[in-house]
Amino acid sequence: MQTAERWQPWAGQQGNYMRRILAFKTIVYDTNLIIPKVSSYSFFQPHSSVSEESATIKSEQAMVRWLFSCSILKSLIIGEIAGYDTNIVSAIEVQQPIITEPNNRPGNIDILICNKFRPEQTIAIESKRAKVVVYQNGSQKVNKLKEIEKGIKQANGLQSMGFWKSYLLLLIVIDARLKNGSNVIFKYGQHSETSSVYEVPMNASLNRDVGVAYIEIVQPTGKEINKMALVGICIDKRAQELQQGASLTERVRTYLNDQRS
């Protein structure tokens, strides 16, 4: 596990530009197929083939499911957002009984985290995906920025329901397979083309109590992300604690009891 830092410029008071550090706690992994009679293997080597599918084609829901299907990545995400406590539980794509009007925004809760003994302290998370392609010369192209605006509205909707804490989580999926270079771990770095992805905390339309987190998922070579990737999380803005309503807490308690039964 390593910590990577990014310097992000943003416009402060009176248009003066300031800088903040985005520190990502990152897991880097690589795998090899074990072959009989082969005694040594190379890891974190460049692979010229780009035949494996790009991670950017995975849907937002599929990416969340993938993250939470891996115990190490799931533990990293929950730990950074809610703390490393064995009593903390999580669920994805949650609707009833917590969501009582699924036709309204938000239609579901992308990620729900809480201490199983403290349902009055529930964290609700809205996730949205941005896609980045890094080309051979290092230039970058970002897509799905409009989804971030939708995510802001939905995160505000979660916060209006009265959860203890609410977050907007941006999944930044980076296809760096084409970029030249022998060091696969440092193929992605912040460029002006993608700086807008990291400016959400400065967006006036996001409720001030809503927190902001980023998860970067980097596919550095032709290997699929199940076999090699860099996954890092940064809590850019901590959510403010609110007094969670009794009715919402009771619905969370009912949901937790249903999951245990």
Range of the domain at 185: 52-260
Q: Please indicate, yes or no, if residue 42 is contained in any of the structural domains.
A: no
Whether residue 208 has pLDDT greater than 50: yes
Average pLDDT score over residue span 176-190: 76
Distances 28 to 93, 133, 219 between C-alpha atoms, Å: 27, 19, 11
Q: Please indicate, yes or no, if residue 199 is contained in any of the structural domains.
A: yes
Q: Please indicate, yes or no, if residue 242 is contained in any of the structural domains.
A: yes
Q: Please indicate, yes or no, if residue 214 is contained in any of the structural domains.
A: yes
Using DSSP, state whether 3 is helix, strand or coil: strand
Q: Which has the closest alpha carbon to 78: 158, 169, 6?
A: 169
Q: What share of the chain is helix, strand, coil (3-state, %, to 5)?
A: 30, 35, 40
Q: Please indicate, yes or no, if residue 233 is contained in any of the structural domains.
A: yes
Average pLDDT score over residue span 114-118: 94
Q: Please indicate, yes or no, if residue 131 is contained in any of the structural domains.
A: yes
Question: What is the reported pLDDT for 90?
Answer: 96
Using DSSP, state whether 159 is helix, strand or coil: helix
The pair phi, psi for residue 242, each rounded to 5°, is -120, 160
Q: What is the rounded distance in angstroms from the CA atom of residue 143 to the CA atom of residue 194?
A: 9
- Number of folded domains in the chain? 1
- SS3 readout for 186-212: HCCCCCHHHHHHHHHHHCCCCCCCCEE
Q: Please indicate, yes or no, if residue 35 is contained in any of the structural domains.
A: no
Q: Please indicate, yes or no, if residue 24 is contained in any of the structural domains.
A: no
Whether residue 88 has pLDDT greater than 50: yes
Q: What is the pLDDT of residues 30-81, one digit of tens each?
A: 988 888 888 888 888 876 565 678 999 999 999 999 999 999 999 999 999 9
Sorted by sequence, the CB contacts under 8 Å of residue 180 that are 6+ apart come out as 136, 137
Q: Which amino acid is at 219?
A: Q
Rg (CA), the chain: 19
